[in-house]
A = this chain, B = another copy of it.
């Protein structure tokens, strides 16, 4: 058996204002993803709106999320939250390099 180890901080360079996506594990119901934000923000008036629970951790850096309705959530290293289905949100600000770990749960909550 060959066990493959990788590092979540590897190869995280990128252009300012951009986001890079890397799938770490994917199966029928679950996707684990690394997102690297380079001082990026979601365009004004664009909202992320996902059908399922999304569990999000800031592994490095910091970020400010904004939810539709005005709630702002400041996140520092180690902070995590669950973004409920259809909780429309955008990334307002991030550090020069913020590394997110995201677990997409492709099932209805409570099922």
- A8 interfacial by beta-carbon distance below 8 Å: yes
Q: How far is the CA of A39 from the CA of B105 in the complex (A)?
A: 32
Q: Which B residues lie within 8 Å of A67 (CB)?
A: 1, 3
Instruction: Please state if A8 and B69 are interface contacts (CB–CB under 8 Å).
Output: no
A residues contacting B by CB (< 8 A) are 1, 3-10, 24-25, 27-30, 32, 53, 55, 57, 59, 65, 67, 69, 71, 73, 75-76, 78-84, 87, 101, 103, 105, 107, 109-111
9 further A-B pairs in the complex, CB-CB below 8 A; given A5-B73, A29-B105, A59-B59: A1-B69, A3-B81, A5-B81, A7-B80, A24-B55, A25-B53, A29-B29, A30-B105, A32-B103
